[in-house]
Amino acid sequence: MHVEATPEKPRPNLAAVAALAGVSPSTASLAFSGSGPVSAATRTRVLDAAAQLDYAGPDPRAQSLRRGRSGIIGVVIEDRLRDAFRDPMNIAMLDGIADETGSLGAGLLLLTENGEGAASIRNAPVDAVVLIGCSTSFAAQVAIFRQRGIALVAIEAEPMDDVLAIDLDNRQASHTLARHLASLGHRCVAMVTLPLDAARTRGPLTEEAIEAATGYTARERIRGVREVFAGSSGVSATVSSIEEGLLAGLELLADRDTRPSAVIAQSDLLAVGVIRAAEQLGLAVPADLSIVGFDGVKLDGLAPYDLTTMVQPAVEKGRAAGRGVIALLSGEHPRAVSFTSRFHRGTTTAPPRVAS
């Protein structure tokens, strides 16, 4: 006997299964979803028919149309996936989100800030969206999702109506770091900041640049530092990474006349980059240059340094965001959450060398 494989193999649908089982589509649906009274015999018949037709279960696309839910949660990250994932903070948050939403059976759809096509933020089939920190084009994104009627959770973002905020004490924490340096005797500190705006340019931290900054996290942290070191300046980075910190550090430290005695980097990755820059320039850390970071990433291989930094609860932030999503989707009105960071004194800060 020779088997003739039909090139066309139309996937069976619930109606076909129902027909084969000799029941109505509605009953077949009940049998699958289990959300209604169906006799055991009937259910068995339906399931057998399904097996016979090689039916894989209700089509999720049709389900999501009918139910008005797709079971998918969008996570908006930076433009370049690789950049976003290079920072352990983002991964930790993603992990926290997945932790909580996983119980709900929802999947995470990665969305980029300016993607086009079927899965852009304009038309991804998501039930809710988490905007992961440091977004520089926040307002525009919020407008889109609000129009689409999609629940929104934002990590570290400007407070906004209809957006559940998961916040961090960025200003206060930066203030703490700055005070630490001040108390050590530093008077001339410089910053290496996270991206200031959607353009993500590396460059000197001019007053105009700060004024025009749309990056909430960067701005808050600058503010915290300036509460202690009024008018302090620095360099803005294009992304949170070690390489970028190195470049920014070189820019900052190149000129020995304007060289600061301490650098406040807005992430641990950037801080490590600055340390590398210092090493390249022959500066000893912390003797010649004090450096602080932000995040509290355990950076394997940073030895012999132990970075002075603010440790923030990244996974917890993600969890809170995940719980927020769940609450919003069940029609509740969760309240904004705010996390605090903890000061960690490492070995990368010391009193400034006395001017020679």
Partner DNA sequence: CGGTTCGATCGAATCGATTCGATACGTCCC
Partner DNA sequence: GGGACGTATCGAATCGATTCGATCGAACCG
Applying CB under 8 A, which residues contact a second copy? 9, 11, 54, 56-65, 68-72, 80-82, 85-86, 91-92, 94-95, 98, 102, 104-112, 115-120, 122-125, 144, 147-149, 242, 272, 299-303
Output the smallest distance, CB 115 to DNA, in A. 18
Q: Which residue in the block uniquely carries the two structure tokens 């097996």?
A: 51
Cα 329 to Cα 65, 157, 323, distances in angstroms: 16, 20, 10
Could you say which of DNA, a second copy, none residue 38 binds, taking C-beta under 5 to 8 angstroms by partner kind?
DNA
Residue 236 and residue 172: Cα distance in Å, rounded?
Answer: 20
Under the binding rule (CB under 7 A), the answer on residue 26 touching DNA is yes
Could you say which of a second copy, DNA, none residue 82 binds, taking C-beta under 5 to 8 angstroms by partner kind?
a second copy
Output the smallest distance, CB 224 to a second copy, in A. 28
Could you say which of a second copy, DNA, none residue 271 binds, taking C-beta under 5 to 8 angstroms by partner kind?
none
Query: Site mask, DNA, residues 37-76, x = CB under 7 A?
Result: xxx-xx--------------xxx-xxx-xxxx--------
Output the smallest distance, CB 98 to DNA, in A. 25
Could you say which of DNA, a second copy, none residue 39 binds, taking C-beta under 5 to 8 angstroms by partner kind?
DNA
Could you say which of DNA, a second copy, none residue 81 binds, taking C-beta under 5 to 8 angstroms by partner kind?
a second copy
Could you say which of a second copy, DNA, none residue 176 binds, taking C-beta under 5 to 8 angstroms by partner kind?
none
Output the smallest distance, CB 51 to a second copy, in A. 10
Distance linking the first and last C-alpha atoms of the chain? 97
Using the minimum distance from each CB to DNA, give the nearer residue, 28 or 337.
28
Using the minimum distance from each CB to DNA, give the nearer residue, 5 or 118.
118
Output the smallest distance, CB 72 to DNA, in A. 16
Using the minimum distance from each CB to DNA, give the nearer residue, 65 or 188.
65
Q: Which residues bind DNA (CB under 7 A)?
A: 11, 13-15, 22-27, 29-30, 32-33, 35-39, 41-42, 57-59, 61-63, 65-68
